[in-house]
């Protein structure tokens, strides 16, 4: 059976377009295949910023870890296990100050784990996760996919790089942008994203 992992991160709740379209993507994929769906809302339950307990604990032998290290590594292992179990990952990110939300960065800090999700060989770093499809849903009030503001999109390219670094290279990017220029522009932006997402999912059928 196909397993889908939905990760949302926007602090905007029901007003979040990244969460809306990420959830819609996951639900449509689930309905099509009868897949199981695991949801992790990083805004509702944000992972802590990584600490020394995590940094030291992840390289320590299991039997030598302190209680703080056991807790920190245990959380990271649970997050990694969710990613490993997923055949499809749907990731929602709403731009905050030109980048992803800090809770999403914290999630990546936990799952980007040397020897577990990436390693090194004679050719350099190598992602250890593969064979998974990722739908990366990004939202921004302005237009960052092209034009003069494209250089300030530190969200989409960064997230795609992090995914690729751990081996998740099959990434479909779904953008919703240009929603701050008035109600008509917002409606047009949402309609454009809906049409694009429909085409993407039809092609994946």
Binding residues for FMN: 10, 16-18
How many Å apart are CA 57 and CA 105, to the nearest integer?
A: 20
Binding site feature residues? 10, 16-18
Bridge-based pairing of strands 118-121 and 124-127 is: antiparallel
Work out the burial of residue 57: count CB atoms within 10 Å of its CB; fewer than 13 is exposed, 13-18 middle, 19 or more buried.
Answer: buried
- Contacts with 47 (C-beta within 8 Å, 6 or more apart), sequence order: 75, 79, 103, 106, 107, 110
- CA distances 143 to 139, 159, 176, Å, are 10, 17, 9
Strands (DSSP E) contained in the chain are 3-8, 36-41, 88-94, 118-121, 124-127, 133-140, 171-177
Contacts of 18 (CB under 8 A, 6+ apart): 8, 9, 10, 92, 93, 94, 137, 138, 139, 176
Q: Any residues with CB less than 8 A from the CB of 44 and at least 6 apart, and which?
A: none
């Amino acid at each position: 059976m196909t397993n889908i992992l939905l990760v949302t991160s926007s602090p905007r709740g029901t007003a979040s377009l990244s969460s809306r379209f990420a959830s819609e993507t996951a639900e449509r994929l689930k309905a099509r295949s009868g897949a199981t769906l695991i949801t992790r809302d990083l805004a509702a339950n944000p992972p802590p910023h990584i600490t020394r307990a995590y940094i030291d604990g992840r390289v320590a032998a299991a039997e030598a870890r302190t209680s703080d290290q056991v807790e920190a590594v245990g959380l990271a292992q649970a997050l990694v296990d969710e990613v490993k179990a997923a055949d499809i990952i749907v990731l929602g990110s709403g731009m905050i100050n030109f980048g992803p939300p800090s809770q999403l960065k914290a999630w990546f800090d936990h799952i980007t784990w040397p020897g577990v999700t990436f390693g090194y060989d004679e050719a350099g770093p190598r992602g250890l996760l593969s064979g998974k499809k990722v739908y990366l849903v990004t939202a921004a009030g302005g237009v960052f996919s092209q034009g003069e503001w494209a250089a300030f999109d530190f969200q989409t390219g960064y997230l795609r790089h992090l995914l690729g670094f751990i081996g998740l290279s099959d990434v479909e990017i779904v953008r919703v942008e240009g929603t701050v220029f008035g109600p008509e522009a917002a409606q047009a932006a949402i309609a454009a994203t809906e049409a694009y997402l429909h085409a993407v999912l039809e092609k994946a059928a």
